[in-house]
Amino acid sequence: MSTNSTPAPSGTPAPGTPTTSAPAATGTHATTHAAHLHRDLHNRHIQMIALGGAIGTGLFYGSASSISLAGPAILFVYLIGGCTIYLVMRALGEMSVHEPVPGAFSHYAYTYWSPRAGFISGWNYWFNYIFVAMSELSVVGLYINYWFPAVPTWLTAAFCLVFITAVNLLGVRAFGEFEFWFALVKVIAIIGMIVLGILVLVVGLQEPHQVPPGTSFAELVFPNGLKGATFAFVVVMFSFGGIELIGITAGEADDPRRSIPRAINLVIQRILIFYVLSLAIIMAVIPWRSIDGHASPFVQIFDSVGITFAAHILNFVVLTAALSVYNSGLYSNGRMLYSLAQQGNAPRIFATLSRAGTPYVGILTSSAVTVVAVVVVFAFPNFAFGYLLSIALIAGIINWTMVMITQLKFRAALGPERVASLAYKLPGGLASSIFVLVALAACVVLMLFQDAYRVAVFVGPAWLLLLTIAYQVKVSREKRHARA
C-alpha cells in the first residue's frame, strides 16, 4: 500500500505530517474532535474496558481447545502470546498518547502511511466488528434459551440489538458505565474460580491429580510435543481479539495521557492473572486430558467440588460477555466511521454528531448492517460461520500488522529527536516491532495447517484486494467529480 497523490480532506494534514491534534471534519459538519466528542471516559472506565477486551468467551470456552492441543504447555504459549499482544498495545499506545483521537490506528495509518492505508485499516476494522457482533448476537439467544427455551432466538437478538444501540446513542458515558459493569461480571467470575481452585488445593477439598511415576519433564509440560504447543498459538492469539479497543477510547478519555498508559501497562498483569494463573489452577485440580471441550473448564472446576449450579453461573457470564462484545463493537464502529469521514474515506454524513457528542449516524448505520448480517446467519448458518467469520479472524491479524507498520512510519515521520522525547514509547523499538511482525506471520502460517482456520488464510488476501479495489473506485469517483 504505497502513498498516492490523493489530496487530504480540507483541514487535514497531508499523510506523513506529524500532528498533535485531530484533524477537522470535512464538509458541512466541519468541527474539531475536541469541540464535540465528549471526553467523559474516566480512568475506571478505561481500566475496565481494557479488562473487557482481554477477557472473553475465548477464555471461558476456548481455553478447552487450547489446553487439549498443548496440555500444560499452554501456560508458556499464553505468556508468548501475551507478550506479543502487549507489544502491539504499546505500539498503539505510543501513538495514542502522542495524539489521542477517535479512529486511532486508522487515523494514524492515514496520517503517517497513506490515505489508502487509512481506508483499508478503518474499513477492515469496521467490517471485522460487524462480523464479530453478528456472531455474538446470533448465539445470544442460545444463552437465553438455556433458561427460557420457548423464547425465539431472533427475538432475543433483536431485543439486545435495540437495547445496546440505545445505550450507545445516549452518549459515551452511558457506554462506559455499561461496559464497566459488563467487564466487572467477567472479572468477578474469574477471581471466584481462582479463589475456589486455591481453596480446593490448599484446604484439601480435593487432592491434586497425581503425575504417573517416571514421567519426564518434556512429557509432563509438552505432552503433545512442540507441534501441539505451536498450533495452540493460533487459538491463543485469537482469544486476544478486541483488546485494541483501548486505543479508540483515547479520543474520548478525560485524561488519555495518564489513563491509556496505565491501562496498557496492566495488560500483561491481567494476562498473567486471568489467563495463566486461572488455567494453571484448572489443570492442577482437573487432569488436563479430561478437559475435552464438552463443558467449559470453569464449569468443570465448580462441578468438581459439588457446586451444581456452576453451569447457570457461566451461562450468565458468557451472556454478559456477548453483550459486552456487541456494546464495544458498536461503540468502536461508530467512532471508526466518524474517523473515516474525517479522512474523506467515508461519506461526510458519518461525521455528524448528536448533542450528546455521539456519532449517531455511524452507530445507527453499523446497527442496521448488523441486522442484515444476523439475518444472513440465521438463514445460511453454515455459509456465515464458515466464510464470513473467517474474515473476522484474519482481519484481526491484518489490523495488528498494520498497527506495527504504522508505528514504524510514525517514528520515521517524527525523527529521532522527537521519538526520544515521546512520553510513552514502545520498549525495544525496532526489535520489538520485528518480533511482533514475525510472530503474526508465524500465526498465519500455522493457520494453514489447521482445518478450522485454513480458509481464513485464503480469505485474507482476497479481502485486502477487495478493500484496495474499493479505495481505487472511491478515488476514481472523486476525480470524475472534480473534473465535472
Q: What would the DSSP string read from start to end of 265-318?
A: HTHHHHIIIIIIIHHHHHHHHS-GGG--SSS-HHHHHHHTTT-TTHHHHHHHHH
pLDDT of residue 186: 84
Residue 313 pLDDT exceeds 70: yes
pLDDT of residue 26: 37
pLDDT of residue 205: 59
Q: How confident is the model at residue 220 (pLDDT cuts 50, 70, 90)?
A: low
Under 8 Å between Cβ of 396 and 241: yes
HSE value, Cβ hemisphere, 13 Å, CA-based, for 246? 38
What Cα–Cα distance (Å) separates residue 290 from each residue in 215, 286, 295, 307, 396? 18, 7, 10, 18, 31
Answer with the residue of higher pLDDT: 391 or 462. 462
| Residues whose CB is less than 8 angstroms from the CB of residue 259 and which lie 6 or more positions away in sequence, other chains included | 41, 42, 43, 46, 47, 253
Residue 18 pLDDT exceeds 60: no
Q: How confident is the model at residue 268 (pLDDT cuts 50, 70, 90)?
A: confident
pLDDT of residue 27: 34
* Tens-digit pLDDT profile for residues 103-133: 788 999 999 999 999 999 999 999 888 888 8
**Residue 312 cell numbers, joined:** 447457570
d(CA 188, CA 192): 6
pLDDT of residue 259: 84
pLDDT of residue 345: 93
* Tens-digit pLDDT profile for residues 345-401: 999 999 998 888 889 999 999 999 988 877 877 777 766 666 666 777 789 999 999
pLDDT of residue 22: 39
Instruction: List domains and CATH numbers for the chain.
Output: 43-207+220-472 (1.20.1740.10)
Mean pLDDT value of segment 214-239: 78
pLDDT of residue 25: 37
Give the length of the chain: 484
Q: How confident is the model at residue 466 (pLDDT cuts 50, 70, 90)?
A: very high
Helix-strand-coil split of the chain, %, nearest 5: 75, 0, 25
Write the DSSP string, 229-255.
HHHHHHHHHHHTTTTTHHHHHGGGBSS
* Tens-digit pLDDT profile for residues 190-212: 888 888 888 777 766 555 556 56
Residue 11 pLDDT exceeds 50: no
Q: How confident is the model at residue 35 (pLDDT cuts 50, 70, 90)?
A: very low
| Residues whose CB is less than 8 angstroms from the CB of residue 221 and which lie 6 or more positions away in sequence, other chains included | 71, 72, 73, 76
d(CA 261, CA 426): 11
Please give the share of the chain, as a percent, with pLDDT higher than 90.
31
Query: Which residues are paired to 253 by β-bridges?
Result: 41
> Whole-number mean pLDDT of the chain?
81
Answer with the residue of higher pLDDT: 215 or 71. 71
Residue 230 pLDDT exceeds 80: yes
Residue 32 pLDDT exceeds 60: no
Under 8 Å between Cβ of 89 and 242: no
Could you tell me the pTM of the whole model? 0.84
Q: Which amino acid is at 2?
A: S
Q: Which amino acid is at 383?
A: F
Residue 3 pLDDT exceeds 70: no
Least confident of 386-390, 429-433, 442-446: 386-390
Q: How confident is the model at residue 404 (pLDDT cuts 50, 70, 90)?
A: very high
| Residues whose CB is less than 8 angstroms from the CB of residue 148 and which lie 6 or more positions away in sequence, other chains included | none
Per-residue b or e along 84-103, where b marks 16 or more CB atoms closer than 10 Å to that residue's CB:
bbbbbbbbbbbbbbbbbbbb
Q: Nearest 5°: phi and psi at 326?
A: -70, -40
* Tens-digit pLDDT profile for residues 84-98: 999 999 999 999 999
Per-residue b or e along 367-396, where b marks 16 or more CB atoms closer than 10 Å to that residue's CB:
bebbbebbeebeeeeeebeeebbbbbbbbb
CA-wise closest residue to 310 among 326, 319, 324, 297: 297
